[in-house]
Amino acid sequence: MRILLTNDDGYDQPGLLELENSLRNKHEIWVVAPLHHCSGTSHSVGLYSSMELISEGKRKWALDGTPTDCVKIALMEIMKGNPPDLLVSGINPGANLSNNILYSGTVAAAMEAALWNIPSVALSVQVSEHGEKPFFCTASSALDTLLENDINSKIPNGTIINLNVPALDISEIKGWKWTRMAQFSADISFRQIEPGRVFAYDRYRSLPVIDPDGTDVDAIQKHFISMTLLDVNRTSTLQPPILELTDGSY
Q: What is the pLDDT of residues 181-223, one digit of tens each?
A: 998 877 777 888 888 889 887 766 677 888 889 999 999 999 9
Provide CB contacts within 8 A for 234, sequence distance 6+: none
202 in Cβ contact with 190 (< 8 Å): yes
Q: Mean pLDDT over residues 234-245, rounded?
A: 89
Whether the ω angle into residue 170 lies within 30 degrees of 0, i.e. cis, is: no
> Which residues share a beta bridge with 160?
120, 230
Selected residue with higher pLDDT from 203 and 59: 59
pLDDT of residue 98: 92
Q: Mean pLDDT over residues 46-75, rounded?
A: 96
Q: Mean pLDDT over residues 162-190, rounded?
A: 92
Rounded to the nearest integer, the mean pLDDT of the chain is 93
> Which residues share a beta bridge with 195?
none
Least confident of 10-14, 103-107, 189-193, 200-204: 200-204
Number of neighbours of residue 231 by Cβ within 10 angstroms: 13
Q: Going from the N-terminus, what domains does the chain have, and what CATH number goes with each?
A: 2-231 (3.40.1210.10)
Selected residue with higher pLDDT from 248 and 216: 216
Q: Mean pLDDT over residues 139-146, rounded?
A: 97
Q: Mean pLDDT over residues 151-177, rounded?
A: 96
The DSSP H or E segment spanning 20 is helix 14-23
9 conformational bin, left if phi > 0, alpha if psi -120 to 50, beta if neither = alpha
Tell me the C-alpha distance between 204 and 14, whole Å. Answer: 21
Number of neighbours of residue 250 by Cβ within 10 angstroms: 5
Tell me the C-alpha distance between 18 and 31, whole Å. Answer: 12
Q: Mean pLDDT over residues 159-172, rounded?
A: 97
Compute the 3-state secondary structure of the chain and give helix, strand, coil in percent, each to the nearest 5.
25, 25, 50
Tell me the C-alpha distance between 152 and 86, whole Å. Answer: 6
Confidence of residue 160 (pLDDT cuts 50, 70, 90): very high
pLDDT of residue 231: 96
pLDDT of residue 158: 96
Q: Is 57 exposed, middle or buried (0-12, 13-18, 19+ CB in 10 A)?
A: exposed
The DSSP H or E segment spanning 242 is none
Per DSSP bridges, beta strands 209-210 and 175-179 are unpaired
Q: Which amino acid is located at 166 in the chain? A: P
Q: Taking 90 as the threshold, does the pLDDT of residue 144 lie above it? A: yes
Q: Taking 70 as the threshold, does the pLDDT of residue 55 lie above it? A: yes
pLDDT of residue 179: 97
**Terminal Cα-to-Cα distance of the chain (whole angstroms):** 51
